[in-house]
Structure 1
């Protein structure tokens, strides 16, 4: 089975898992789209790209478990606890290799932790989730600017944050873009 087919099957299962929550499904599809494109534009190798895309598809998969276990609560910290086991089970069932499963579980278990980000897959997942969350939460421009300055590290992610939200590119800490 090709890696693209594996990712498509994972997306199919993630949609079924989150059904009928169209908002949650739209969120994961958008995060995956951004992650895929940023990864390609940043030149990730094939394995890292594959891992990134798998993680983007399942990054919030722990929310349902959190809501069931913690009286409707699903904070980022709780998602980081409950998401990896669900992601691991799903990826295993679909035949993903152990190395990919381990890294995806790590990314799911850390995607709300913004310190000590190690690896472009981790950085791009965080940036992609932020691009979607900032839009979905109607975040004020000043907060978006601050987030763009502190969280975004990839050239593509920074550019897109500035372009999507109409930020003043010259107030960004790095002038080497756009």
Structure 2
């Protein structure tokens, strides 16, 4: 199976996993869309792009388990604990290579940790999740600008953030 087909199958399985939570499904689709576009526009190599897209699709896979296990709670830290084993299992079941599943699990297990970001796949995943979360949570302009300054590093991610929220870079 080629990479595009593997990602489409992963998306299909992840949508089924999150069904019928349309809000959560829409979130992962938007994060994947931004991650895909930013990665391509930043010129990622094929392997890093594939890893990034897989991670973007499953980045919040731990939420459902967290909510069941922790009385409705699903903080970022809890997601980082519960998500990686689920991601590993799902990707392995679909035939993803071990080195890809290991990196995706790492990204899922760190996507709410904003210090010591190593790798463009990690950086772009964080930026993509923030683009969606800032919009979905209707954050105020000051929060958006602070996030822009503290989180965004890629030129494409910065440009998307400025265009989405209508501000100029300082």
CA RMSD of aligned residues (A): 0.4
Displacement of 1:109 in angstroms is 0.0
Instruction: Measure, in 2, the Cα distance between the counterparts of 1:20 and 1:143.
Output: 31
Question: What does residue 163 of structure 1 align with?
Answer: 163
Question: What does residue 86 of structure 1 align with?
Answer: 86
Question: What does residue 48 of structure 2 align with?
Answer: 48
Where structure 2 has 5 or more consecutive residues not aligned to the other structure, the ranges are none
Instruction: Measure, in 2, the Cα distance between the counterparts of 1:94 and 1:68.
Output: 25
Q: How does 1:132-143 map to 2 (within 5 A)?
A: 132-143=132-143
Q: Structure 1 residues 61-70 or 160-169, which shifts more? A: 160-169
* Runs (4+) off by over 6 Å: none
1:145 is the counterpart of 2:145:
yes
Instruction: Measure, in 2, the Cα distance between the counterparts of 1:167 and 1:143.
Output: 13
Displacement of 1:167 in angstroms is 1.5
Normalised to the residue count of structure 1, the TM-score between the two structures is: 0.95
Instruction: Measure, in 2, the Cα distance between the counterparts of 1:95 and 1:14.
Output: 15
Where structure 1 has 5 or more consecutive residues not aligned to the other structure, the ranges are 172-178
Deviations along 1:62-88, whole A, 9 cap, x unmatched? 000100110000000000000000000
Normalised to the residue count of structure 2, the TM-score between the two structures is: 0.99
Question: What does residue 175 of structure 1 align with?
Answer: none
